[in-house]
Structure 1
Amino acid sequence: MNDVRRSGHRAGSHLIGRERDLAHIRSHFHGSGRGAALLLSGEAGLGKTAVLEAVAAEFRHGGAHVLHASGVQYEADISYAGLNQLLVPFFDSFDSSDSSDSFDSLEPHHRDALRVAVGIGGGPPPNRLLVSTALLFLLRRAAGEKPLLITVDDLPWLDRATTSVLAFVARRLAGSDISFLAATRVTSDDAFELSDLSEHRLQPLDDVASGELIRSAHPDLPLMLRRRVVAEAHGNPLALVELPTALKSRQEAGASLPSVLPLTERLQKLFASRVADLPRASREVLLVVALEGTGDLGVIEAATGSGPVVDALEPAERDRLLTLSTTTRRVSFRHPLIGSAVVTGATAAERRRAHQALADALTDQLERRAWHLGEATTQPTEMVADLLERAARLRSRRGDALGAVAALTRAAELSPAPADKSRRLAEGAYLGAEATGELADASRLLAGAQQADPAAESSLHAAAASALLLINQDGDVGTAHRVLVDAIEEGEHGWDASDETLLEALFTLNLLCWYSGDPETWPPLFRAIDRLTPAPPDLLWVCAQTFADPARTGTRALGRLDELLTDIGEDPARIVRLGHCAVYPDRLAALREPSMRLVESGRAGTVPLRRYLAALLHVCLADYDAGKWDQVLALADEGVRLCEENGYRFLTRKFQYPLALVAAARGDTEASAVLTEEIVGWATPRGADGVRALACHIKGLTALGSGDFESAYLHSTTLTPVGSLPPYQPQAMAGAMDVVEAAVRTGRVAEAAAHTAALRASTMAELSPRLSMLVLACEALITTDESCFPLFEEALSQVDDGQWPFDTARVRLFYGERLRRHRLTSQARVQLAEAAQVFDQLGAAPWKTRVAAELRASGQVSVAAARPIKDPLTAQERQIATLAATGLTNKQIAERLFLSHRTIGTHLYQIYPKLGINSRAALRDALAALDMGDAG
């Protein structure tokens, strides 16, 4: 059977990716008047059977009777075998002693013809025209009782006699209540007799549907493998469901992933049969084509040693297995799984010979030569293992961490010495944990490294991999830190600043120190950096200065950081690490474009997951600063989903931070509370105080928005004790103004002054215009006389219009409040009106409420009077509200907009108060009223 009957093409009752196809089929049958026929065509494995079954189910639900036949290869030579299948429901009535109305009403010669044709009656073979007419009469009479659908699957395997009869019937359905739907392959000539019928061709699933199907069928498949399968399957549902089975079994056996994916028995059956009938010479060249991978005819000819190979490939080209261009001198398979079938069908010896031939032809291409030699070699050989390790280094520098892991794994398999095997597996484990996102693979490789050489001391790669796995699983940050520090300080690496292994370990240690939030964890990192000779690399040194204690050491690195940002480059690791450097000095905007390119590449599967996630987080933080909060919700939700699917538990909390920030600022106290509790619940038992600090910031901001200044003071001073900016806790800068505002509003004047003095004593204000604005605003807040006004003006002058809108609007609110209290009401209204407009655009409802109260106190009737009338909804909110008003559920809206249902719920929670309603049922009227107001 060439279908996906048991392949998971469905998710519940939903046929994944075939909504448009089903709509077209419905339209054909219901829009063609009474009686219609349709031929459903498509390549093998595209899910034609699943579509037939879905259509049949719909017809049955509508009260129709369904007759079904399916071509069977071993019955293809039996005349009317298909008709026998189709008419099984009528067999009882074929007995003359128990005739049904529809069968009994046929003329005797028609009844006799059908009995003989299906093998129930005896007599000479009936005339085919007589059988065709008898079947048509029978079906029309049966359809007179209730509508009838005929479905035929695997038409190429149907016997010729049945095909001929069905073709006769299908052309004569007009005016009846009979519908006819048959499925055939695109490449088949066996449907000739039905070829004049209307045809609908199934196309491969798109990437979105492919991803949904593979997640449904294999929810535990790692993301990078999932993407590899999606790329190789080319939208073929059967391949999407079957390929992971072969991959997972290979992984469980501890083998490295091959360059050509292995096929399961079902896939081999589909694709290999088309290759097996080719001449031997064609198959031999096809094997080289499949293993060569790029389609370069020059390399293929050099490997085969037989000169031009066009003649040998002609039979495969004629059978539509490949396309060949003599102009570009390239050859490619029409579907990648044809190449897989070629490789799977070859013997192990044939594959090794082809790999060796390709290695001999690629002497000037180290990476490709290494890979082919690795596949051609059967015994441990250090020369090949060393070549593969060098290839892995090249791939890693190019950002291909997944390819580097594969090369290192194969190098380990071919390493004669246990120490070399252990070292290579440990490096693969580190790359798996730090870059690719394959945490399960990293654990397996690390265990393999320990087994390969149990007596060896832990290498830097092994220690770094262990540390990353610890914080992603149930270990604590302190243990992870000790494991890595011990390996760094006890290793025999010579403190060479060009030692990539050592530098990777130090970058990892930098992150672990931040997670810990403990000042005592940082000295080992700085000692190691100071020992590097001849000098530490700029990127590592800058990262340590701006990420550890930026309020004290960040300014010394700003010059070098800004230089580095003028030459960002395309290396994913460099972009991500520059992002770490840029977070606290507010330079993320300069990295948004390259970071977003990484995100897009990650979505396409061409960048390792860990790099994709880190870049995604930096885009979230940049967009929060820029006031693009709807984008923040969508991107952060994407990050949370990916982290949860792939076991990146510590990064999940980082993505929950911007989600909670937006919820806090917009007044969604329930969502904010849930998110902060999850952050605290994860961080506390693991000793991740750096992560727990994020929750303190959110809680303080939530309380400030709602006017609960006492709670705000308690939460803000938990993050940063009043009167000090604690060392090695950079998050304290984010909550600095929160402490001062909460202290002022609760009458703690001395505490507010002490904290402002601490801010001035630090170099925080020198890091960025925004931080300078915040420090000046704090000075203005503690100044009670009119000398505060120049301080507010100076604070607002630090940033350009549109920069850091939320923080700027808060400063304007404070300024407007102070102006009003000094009875400068007209000036106050200007500041308050600008703040109100920004809060409105951001959807920061509690802050908008605070502004409204101040405007009323200044004599202005409403916030609306301070700004032009506009749609209160953002473009995305308007789209969500419109869809919700039509009756779609959150899940249905999420599927249409490629968001999560949780994000849709958050948006609706913000939309209701903007429209002045409190339920989904009121959306339609509220939007209509809004539209009428706009028209007016």
Structure 2
Amino acid sequence: MVSVNLYGRDDEVRVLARIWAGDGPPGQVLAVRGEPGTGKTALLSVAERLARAYGALVLRTGGVEVAARPPFACLEELLRPLLQGLPGLDPPERRALLSAFELARSFPEQALVHRSVARLLSRASRQRRVLLVVDDAQWLDAQTLEAVAFIAERARELPVDLVCAMGTRYPRPLERGRWPEITVGRLSAHDAERLLRQHAPTLSSARRRTLLREAAGHPLALLELSSRQPMPADRGDDSPVSRLEGMFGLVAADLPRPVRDILLVAAVDDSGDLREVLDAAARLIGREVDESVLTSAVEGRLLRVLDTWVEFTHPLVRSGLLRGESPARRQCAHRALADVLADPYRRAWHRAQAESGPNGEAADLLDATTGDLLARGAVSSAIVVLRRAAALTTRGTERGSRLLRAAELAVQLGQEDLVDLLVTTALRQELTVLDRAKAQWLLETLSEGAPADVARVWELCEVAADAAWAGDENLALDLLLSAALRCWRAESGPLARAAVVDGAELMGEACPPLRDNARWLAVLGVAEPVASGRTVCAALDALRPAEVEDPHALRLLGMAAHAVGHDVRAAEVLDRAAQLLRAQGRVGPLAQVLALQVVVHTELGHLERAEVAAQEAVQLARDSGRPVSAEVSMYQARLWARRGDTELALRQFAETEPSARANHLNSVLFCVQRVKAESAFVQGRYEEAYRTCRTLLDSRAPGYHPRLWFDALGLFAETAVRSGNALDARLMLRNAEHMSLITPAPLLRMQLAHARDVLAAGPGKSQSND
């Protein structure tokens, strides 16, 4: 057993020991929380020693309280001993990690990086038990923080153990998990007395009583305050942490000016590289300096110099130093550091920190780093950079453009609140015509589940015309597709649908090549699935999916095919899109394709394929921390119903139906009514099933959808025959017969033929369309 002697921490050590004494299987997760200086790092060291004693592989990293940490810096440090295993990963996963660590350039998505990390850790855990030790999690770079949250949620699956120290609050990405935790509080009066007597046995009784009162059981305060000259109380905050910061600041203030300058540069630096700190300090001081100047800081226990590295003895030293310096001095240190850095991201970030107001040059320098950040998959860092660049920008139009670019990236991460904030802020700026159009399109990404709004459909058509006039046809078509999707989700009426199609047709007349654009076909199909059915079906029938290399275009074509009722072709193009996206490792777009596959395969009756797609879509949502899409949730419920678990399906819809009715979301209400009809039919309530199913074909009913009713014709005929309403059903089918003359949609023709056969066969001879 490892010998451990930490005053007042016996309970915490026992918790750590149980992990390694065979009481728990691999995959243990533990958070160690507490205020600075209470001994969290010491407990992590105990965990590390215990794990090594049992033969485990220990991987360790820690955060630093500076804002300029490069993306994935801490993750690379954590995984460095495993990187020799990279060749064993699948090519997309290998490329993702190489790009994240700036060893390649492939624009990986965050979810793919996470999956690659999981694969690497899983492979290592097959050899021996693995412990990840993460100190000061609240200061990890954003990408590593997300990866740690991902690992924590899947620790049992991998399996790896994780012990993570953090401040009194969980960093935001870690809030998703419910972690077992140790809260490291202050020492009891007895343990504080023991620690003080052991560390400073010669103190007078009066001094000891004063220190015990001032430290209030805070371990680091007891150790530091007892070994230094008494310090004046901090103004306004007399807590032990504040006293310590004030004390470190005062100790630094008594040092010679060159030493103070070096300490200040080290405090704003994020690397700990001694040569880098000395070079930047030379810029600040105005002359060359060497490490011998730091002797007084080392002797004052503010700093440690380890070969070519420099580190503070405690994070509170860094925060105390920064608190004791003026903003102007901190800005000078950032500027000096920027002058000597070679890394574009770090140089630009420190240059930005050197400014107290708008500065176009600093803004441009920062903006120029976004391409490299995205090439590494650091989307969240790119958003931060663009927001900071926008704040530094002097011209309103450019400021708004940068905010909108940040909003586009936030859409990728599913951060709807941030998208709304960024777009709303951008709209207060002076924007170009195209940026105003882009702002409206970005707002539409938040609109799923929005109420029926005919006026908004017309507004989007007008904005699309502005974008087309300004020369951005793709943006114009994206806006029209957003308008079409509003018409699809909530019945907006024939005039609104026609306005969307007219906008697309005008663009097609002005630029005929646009008619071959997948966006153009998607707009027509989604907005007017019946009236545009012949045009869209003809284009789809001429398509050779195997020759299309653009998965985004294939997804749009799949959307168009499903919209008009050409689901066999939709399945083909979506399968091709999924194949390409998997090969490219693009899991975000893959989730969108999977959502469509769930819908298409359910309508085709391919229930097993729909279930597989739904499970993968849910897993990808889980991996990326995003909610499951509404389409997947709705059609999962339909799958449950078609497998006989109608109660579970109806419970799922019971949560969404009130909101769908309030917002007139016909696409949701149709699914709800269809499942209710199926449930009544399976349970032998044929009259109820027929009346419910009849509303699906009634254009005046809330659950009517101008295209989804194609899929209900067979069920409608079944319920009609069983309930004795065959004559009424034949009259209702006249509208479907008329529609089949307008559109050649295979789904409509197949369902209509099935319905005719069922009605002709009569009771006892019909077959379920399931």
Structure 1 residues 616 and 505: CA distance shift in structure 2, 3 A: same
> In the alignment, which of 382, 389, 399 is matched to residue 411 of structure 1?
389
- What's 2:480 paired with? 506
- What's 1:553 paired with? 532
- What's 1:429 paired with? 407
Structure 1 residues 639 and 382: CA distance shift in structure 2, 3 A: same
Equivalent-residue separation in structure 2 for 1:765 and 1:490 (angstroms): 28
Equivalent-residue separation in structure 1 for 2:726 and 2:375 (angstroms): 55
What is the 5 A alignment of 1:514-529?
A: 514-520=488-494, 521-529=496-504
- Which SS does the other structure have where 2:394 is aligned? coil
Equivalent-residue separation in structure 2 for 1:198 and 1:436 (angstroms): 40
What is the 5 A alignment of 1:627-776?
A: 627-628=607-608, 631=612, 634=615, 653-721=630-698, 729-754=706-731, 755=733, 758-759=736-737, 761-762=739-740, 766-768=744-746, 772-776=749-753
Return 5+ residue gaps in structure 1 as ranges: 10-14, 29-41, 51-71, 74-152, 157-181, 249-264, 293-298, 306-310, 312-320, 322-330, 786-813, 822-831, 840-846, 848-936
Structure 1 residues 531 and 383: CA distance shift in structure 2, 3 A: farther
Equivalent-residue separation in structure 2 for 1:543 and 1:397 (angstroms): 30
Equivalent-residue separation in structure 1 for 2:57 and 2:686 (angstroms): 65
- Which SS does the other structure have where 1:238 is aligned? strand
Residue 548 (structure 2) pairs with residue 580 (structure 1)? no
> In the alignment, which of 142, 165, 169 is matched to residue 238 of structure 1?
165
- Which SS does the other structure have where 1:522 is aligned? helix
- Which SS does the other structure have where 1:732 is aligned? helix
Residue 415 (structure 2) pairs with residue 496 (structure 1)? no
- What's 1:927 paired with? none
Structure 1 residues 764 and 230: CA distance shift in structure 2, 3 A: farther
- What's 1:420 paired with? 398
Question: How much does 1:443 deviate?
Answer: 2.5
CA RMSD of aligned residues (A): 6.5
> In the alignment, which of 117, 124, 146 is matched to residue 227 of structure 1?
146
Question: How much does 1:416 deviate?
Answer: 1.0
Structure 1 residues 637 and 670: CA distance shift in structure 2, 3 A: farther
- What's 1:789 paired with? none
Q: 1:385-427: CA deviations, max 9, x gaps? A: 5676687689889998656644542332122123432343245
Identity %: 17
Query: What code does the residue aligned with 1:530 have?
Result: E
- What's 1:807 paired with? none
Question: How much does 1:510 deviate?
Answer: 2.6
What is the 5 A alignment of 1:60-139?
A: none
- What's 2:424 paired with? 447
Equivalent-residue separation in structure 2 for 1:619 and 1:579 (angstroms): 9
- Which SS does the other structure have where 1:460 is aligned? helix
Structure 1 residues 778 and 345: CA distance shift in structure 2, 3 A: farther
- What's 2:85 paired with? none
Return 5+ residue gaps in structure 2 as ranges: 61-77, 79-116, 123-131, 153-160, 176-239, 253-258, 283-290, 292-303, 323-329
Structure 1 residues 23 and 479: CA distance shift in structure 2, 3 A: farther
Structure 1 residues 558 and 389: CA distance shift in structure 2, 3 A: farther
Equivalent-residue separation in structure 2 for 1:495 and 1:456 (angstroms): 7
- What's 2:65 paired with? none
Structure 1 residues 698 and 635: CA distance shift in structure 2, 3 A: farther
Question: How much does 1:729 deviate?
Answer: 1.8
Structure 1 residues 238 and 691: CA distance shift in structure 2, 3 A: same
Equivalent-residue separation in structure 2 for 1:558 and 1:701 (angstroms): 30
What is the 5 A alignment of 1:459-470?
A: 459-469=436-446
Equivalent-residue separation in structure 2 for 1:503 and 1:383 (angstroms): 35
Question: How much does 1:487 deviate?
Answer: 5.8
Residue 754 (structure 2) pairs with residue 780 (structure 1)? no
**Residue 392 of structure 1 contacts residue 408 of structure 1 at CA under 8 Å; is this kept in 2?**
yes
The TM-score, its normalising length taken from structure 2, stands at: 0.54
**Residue 286 of structure 1 contacts residue 342 of structure 1 at CA under 8 Å; is this kept in 2?**
yes
Query: What code does the residue aligned with 1:738 have?
Result: L
Question: How much does 1:663 deviate?
Answer: 2.5
Equivalent-residue separation in structure 2 for 1:476 and 1:612 (angstroms): 27
Equivalent-residue separation in structure 2 for 1:743 and 1:492 (angstroms): 50
Question: How much does 1:546 deviate?
Answer: 2.8
Question: How much does 1:437 deviate?
Answer: 1.0
Question: How much does 1:684 deviate?
Answer: 1.5
Equivalent-residue separation in structure 1 for 2:596 and 2:708 (angstroms): 15
Question: How much does 1:658 deviate?
Answer: 1.5
**Residue 504 of structure 2 contacts residue 520 of structure 2 at CA under 8 Å; is this kept in 1?**
yes
Question: How much does 1:478 deviate?
Answer: 0.8
- Which SS does the other structure have where 2:546 is aligned? coil
Question: How much does 1:438 deviate?
Answer: 0.6
What is the 5 A alignment of 1:167-566?
A: 184-185=45-46, 227=146, 230=149, 235-238=162-165, 244=171, 290=271, 349-355=332-338, 379-382=357-360, 385=363, 402=380, 405-429=383-407, 431-432=409-410, 434-452=411-429, 459-469=436-446, 471=448, 476-478=451-453, 481-482=456-457, 484-485=459-460, 488=463, 491=466, 494=469, 496-498=471-473, 500=475, 502-520=476-494, 521-532=496-507, 533-534=510-511, 535-536=513-514, 538-558=517-537, 560-561=539-540, 563=543, 565-566=545-546
Q: 1:729-762: CA deviations, max 9, x gaps? A: 2211121222222233333334444517724752
Structure 1 residues 714 and 596: CA distance shift in structure 2, 3 A: farther
Query: What code does the residue aligned with 1:542 have?
Result: L
**Residue 452 of structure 2 contacts residue 490 of structure 2 at CA under 8 Å; is this kept in 1?**
yes
Structure 1 residues 777 and 672: CA distance shift in structure 2, 3 A: same
Structure 1 residues 352 and 401: CA distance shift in structure 2, 3 A: same
**Residue 17 of structure 2 contacts residue 47 of structure 2 at CA under 8 Å; is this kept in 1?**
no
Question: How much does 1:720 deviate?
Answer: 1.7
Q: 1:699-738: CA deviations, max 9, x gaps? A: 22323333333222222221223999x9972211121222
Equivalent-residue separation in structure 2 for 1:514 and 1:741 (angstroms): 27
**Residue 697 of structure 1 contacts residue 735 of structure 1 at CA under 8 Å; is this kept in 2?**
yes
Q: 1:871-898: CA deviations, max 9, x gaps? A: xxxxxxxxxxxxxxxxxxxxxxxxxxxx
Highest RCO, 1 vs 2 (Cα 8 Å, sep ≥ 6): 2
Equivalent-residue separation in structure 1 for 2:143 and 2:451 (angstroms): 27
Equivalent-residue separation in structure 2 for 1:511 and 1:667 (angstroms): 31
Aligned residues: 556
Query: What code does the residue aligned with 2:536 have?
Result: A
Q: 1:125-157: CA deviations, max 9, x gaps? A: xxxxxxxxxxxxxxxxxxxxxxxxxxxx9997x
Question: How much does 1:430 deviate?
Answer: 5.2
Question: How much does 1:695 deviate?
Answer: 1.7
Equivalent-residue separation in structure 1 for 2:745 and 2:400 (angstroms): 45
- Which SS does the other structure have where 1:783 is aligned? helix
Question: How much does 1:488 deviate?
Answer: 0.7
Structure 1 residues 2 and 230: CA distance shift in structure 2, 3 A: farther
Q: 1:144-171: CA deviations, max 9, x gaps? A: xxxxxxxxx9997xxxxxxxxxxxxxxx
The TM-score, its normalising length taken from structure 1, stands at: 0.46
Equivalent-residue separation in structure 1 for 2:527 and 2:757 (angstroms): 29
Equivalent-residue separation in structure 2 for 1:519 and 1:225 (angstroms): 48
- Which SS does the other structure have where 1:237 is aligned? strand
Equivalent-residue separation in structure 2 for 1:19 and 1:511 (angstroms): 57
Query: What code does the residue aligned with 1:731 have?
Result: L
Question: How much does 1:557 deviate?
Answer: 2.4
Structure 1 residues 22 and 621: CA distance shift in structure 2, 3 A: farther
- Which SS does the other structure have where 1:583 is aligned? helix
Query: What code does the residue aligned with 2:519 have?
Result: L
